[in-house]
Amino acid sequence: MIEFKSIGTIHTPFMDRQGMPIQPAGAQGISGTVELLPEYAAGVQDLRGFSHIILLYVFHHSNSCSLLVTPFMDSVPRGVFATRAPNRPNPIGLSVVRLVGVDDTKLHIEGIDVLNGTPLLDIKPYAPEFDHPSGIVRTGWLEKSKQQVSEKRSDDRFK
């Protein structure tokens, strides 16, 4: 058994899963905050120098796991590990967001695509030299529909 504990909470304007952006690419201009627990205050030291951060969090409204899912970007069932669907064996999500500011234990962010009250597991700095693969990148089944990600919104398929 592996246990994680939340280090804080992500606050967003999204109170319901339906109609939310499905990825940060569709959440441009949407502001939110990350509120860290006080015991993690020292951990934000030096974060101000980064323009973007990676948030790792729990899909806390995900109530089931499906190994085959029909993703928002497709109408064909796909293996869950070939998607970013929330109903996973370990309901962990990630978002790369713009860091607007840091006030003690409150981080001001933009481009957030998660439900209000989402439990935060970790924060990592985004570094293009680390996180952007070089060479040819293949995107599998997403190749046909990746241009739609900015407009796509979630619906009730992942309850």
Place 136 in a pLDDT band, splitting at 50, 70 and 90.
confident
Cα(28)–Cα(31) distance, integer angstroms: 9
**Residue spans per domain, the chain:** 8-148
pLDDT (mean) for 69-87? 89
Q: What pLDDT sits at residue 101?
A: 97
Whether pTM > 0.85 for this model: the answer is yes
What Rg, from alpha-carbon coordinates, does the chain have?
A: 16
The answer to whether the CB of 32 falls within 8 A of the CB of 53 is no
CATH of segment(s) 8-148: 2.40.30.70
